[in-house]
Structure formats: C-alpha cells, structure tokens
Amino acid sequence: MRSNRKLEDEVAAICDLSREELAARWFKVFGCPPPKGLKRGLLERSAAWHLQVSRLGGLSQMARRAIRAASSASFGASASEKKAAADPIVLAAQPRPGTRLMREWNGRIHVVDVTDDGFLFDGKPYRSLSAIARRITGAHWSGPRFFGL
C-alpha cells in the first residue's frame, strides 16, 4: 500500500517538472527529442505512463495484440495484416480439457474439471463456469472471474 502511495506522489510530481525535464524523459524513452509543437500535457502523460509501466508493468499481451490488430486495420496494412485484424479477438481463452480448477469459498474447496464437453462439478456436467459459480455462491458471478481466469 505504501509503495502505491509513493508512486502516486511521483506521478503527481511530474506536473512540477520543467518542459526541458519532460523533454529529457521523452528522449530517454524514445531515443529522440519530442516532436516540435508537442503540447506539455502529452509530455506529462507520457512521462507518467512510462513511470507507471516501469513500476507496475505495461499492457498485457492480449491488449497489445488488440491494439495492433485495430491499428493495422486502419492504417495502410497489407492484405494479410488486414485479414488478421478482421479476425475476432478472443479476450479469454477457455481452459483446456483435463485442467482442474479449484476455488475456496466459505471454508470449502470446490473443484471443477474441464472436459471436452464443458465442465464437471460434483459429478454433474455443466456447460459454463458461471452456472457452477452460481450454484456455489447462490448469486450471479462471472464464472471465469470467480475461478480466477
């Protein structure tokens, strides 16, 4: 918790930097000076973004793939890149058959086996993890989120 507060303070302090200091940070990250006419706000946001990335990590592989697909569809991409961009982006992969999911809920461990046809819980087949999460909790849950996927 303390490190998050420290990071928040460092991000807030970026607004106090001079334009030259912001330009120096840009140069360090991109290897070239910022484009002429670039507004100060973008320099600040860029510096804040890169500070957070260095501490917390960047975009997930899935997010980078989605951005790449969206940008190649828009900006002069080759035919193969446009075809790849037109393919739907799968946000969450289903666990493979044979995988065993475990979740502790109210002091009890619940085990779900992934099968070719869906999921097996307490000896009964289910088509979705959400149905299993609902059975366990008695409330509507996202099954993948409940099981940490």
Number of domains in the chain: 3
pLDDT of 83: 57
Residues 50 and 74 in one domain: no
pLDDT of 102: 85
Residues 117 and 142 in one domain: yes
pLDDT of 143: 84
Domain that holds residue 34: 2-56
| Cross-strand partners of 105 | 108
Residues 104 and 137 in one domain: yes
Contact predicate 126/133, CB 8 Å: no
* Low-confidence spans in the chain with pLDDT less than 50: none
Determine the Cα–Cα distance for residues 28 and 97; give it in Å rounded to an integer.
Answer: 46
Residues 50 and 71 in one domain: no
Please write the tens of the pLDDT for every residue from 45-68. 988 888 888 888 877 888 888 888
Residues 80 and 104 in one domain: no
Other CB atoms within 10 Å distance of the CB of residue 128: 12
Global pTM exceeds 0.85: no
